[in-house]
Amino acid sequence: MIDHRAHTPSAHRTNWAGNVTFRAERLHTPTTIAELRDLVSAGGALRALGTGHSFNTVADTSGTLVSVAGLPRTLDVDSRAGTATVSAGLRFAELTGTLHRHGFALHNLGSLPHISVAGACATGTHGSGAGNRSLAGAVRALELVTADGDLMTLERGEDDFEGAVVSLGALGVVTRLTLDLVPAFDIQQSVYEGLPQERLLGRFDEIMSEAYSVSLFTGWHGGPVDQVWLKRKVTDGGPRSAPGEWQGATLADGPRHPVPGMATEHCTEQLGAPGPWHTRLPHFRPEFTPSNGDELQSEYFVAREDAVAAYEALDRVRQDIAPLLQIGEIRSVAGDDLWLSPAQGRDSVAFHFTWVPDTDAVLPAVGAVEEALAPFGARPHWGKVFTTPPATLRSLYPRYADFERLVLRLDPTGVFRNDFLARHFPGTS
């Protein structure tokens, strides 16, 4: 995780994976909104930093990094409205238990509960489930400090809101978010092994809709899918036993880690044991706090109707993927209207790759993945390793130019601009 102490030498400040060394001259952790507003309005390049779980330079800057983790903690549940207003710096693991005790839940969670709410929403991070939007889809309102130090609130339905939720930190420093809630629910998680590839391709939609959340794990070795994680919602009928065989796959006889051979004690409870939503939807337990990630990650979103053809295209280049892969994951994400969401305008399937921690070796494999998925208009996850050209990205997002205009209007002097934004959004420079 990130060391949030100010004035740490930049040479020792890296992201979680260690593949990015931040160039910032200083890191500030303000403890009040007023202090944050003063920092921003003082001028100079500035970027907000979350928990450092991005695998590229989206959060980098040559000026000042600002962490909102020190701001006053807010977690206000409005039971009548069905919302929670939370501090941007809170991690999901710090709020889910409280929501559950109030009888509420978030509609979904990512695989790792240690990421910050604001950072996850700003980059389009997601869980899985045919009817589940990305985590940003729960945002009803957000408060942010803009380039002139003003405090702005945007609410769903207002102009610019849909451009401001997944914003890559380009519009300001988010301080609070209001999230839609759903009634609390229980999940039982079962893992199946050895799903035949022909069964997956012949019944893809059926398989991906089997449970509230479905994750397929594969090493792209050309054989059966290694694991299928089914997270079933417990209904009024109560928990149900998982059959020993499903779609040609076999029920695992013990806990499993997504990466074959890895220890399972850090994974959320499996074997069909029912439990609260927040203890099953992530793949990893909140009490497991990784200090660094020995991995790189990439992820690409295609329209759900193209998922089978995209799978087959990746299977044809598996020789370029498998040697550098720790594990691949396939998930489904419901479409939304957020301008820069990778699932904008289309129900999507996301192909995720957890690579070995060797950038030089991995980049050719990333190129092979991108070439294979290019016919399907694949959108990369903003916070992961990708090489998709800016011109291609522009063609994949109908509101791309609108987002550039929004950036210029809210940040005309480029306080929040960095090299990542200048490269991928040249219209903001």
pTM value surpassing 0.85 = yes
Tell whether 24 and 54 lie within a shared domain.
yes
**Any domain includes 360:** no
Tell whether 83 and 176 lie within a shared domain.
yes
**CATH number of domain containing 44:** 3.30.43.10
Q: What is the pLDDT of residue 12?
A: 56
Tell whether 159 and 83 lie within a shared domain.
yes
**Any domain includes 90:** yes
Q: What is the pLDDT of residue 294?
A: 86
| C-alpha to C-alpha distance for 239 and 69, rounded to whole angstroms | 38
Tell whether 58 and 106 lie within a shared domain.
no
Q: What is the pLDDT of residue 289?
A: 63
Tell whether 93 and 144 lie within a shared domain.
yes
Tell whether 87 and 129 lie within a shared domain.
yes
Out of 183, 208, 239, pick the residue that ends a domain: 183
Tell whether 130 and 40 lie within a shared domain.
no
**Any domain includes 286:** no
Tell whether 90 and 163 lie within a shared domain.
yes
Tell whether 122 and 169 lie within a shared domain.
yes
**Any domain includes 256:** no
* pLDDT averaged per 10 residues, the chain (length 429): 37 81 92 97 93 93 94 96 97 96 97 92 94 96 97 97 98 98 97 98 97 98 97 89 97 94 92 97 84 84 98 98 97 98 98 97 98 98 97 97 98 96 93
Q: What is the pLDDT of residue 292?
A: 54
**Any domain includes 294:** no
Contact criterion met (CB below 8 Å) for 329 and 258: yes
Where does 157-291 show beta strands of DSSP type E? 173-180, 182-183, 186-195, 213-218, 225-233, 245-246, 249-251, 274-276
Token reading at 344: 């904008």
Tell whether 33 and 119 lie within a shared domain.
no
Tell whether 57 and 117 lie within a shared domain.
no
> 117-131 burial, b if ≥16 CB within 10 A, otherwise e?
bbbbbbbbbbbbbbe
Tell whether 178 and 80 lie within a shared domain.
yes
Q: Side-chain half-sphere of 365: how many Cα atoms within 13 Å?
A: 28
Out of 67, 83, 99, pick the residue that ends a domain: 67
**CATH number of domain containing 147:** 3.30.465.10
Q: What is the pLDDT of residue 9?
A: 39
| C-alpha to C-alpha distance for 208 and 371, rounded to whole angstroms | 25
Q: Domain total for the chain?
A: 2
Out of 34, 67, 100, pick the residue that ends a domain: 67
**Any domain includes 362:** no
| C-alpha to C-alpha distance for 401 and 337, rounded to whole angstroms | 15
Domain enclosing residue 104, as ranges: 75-183
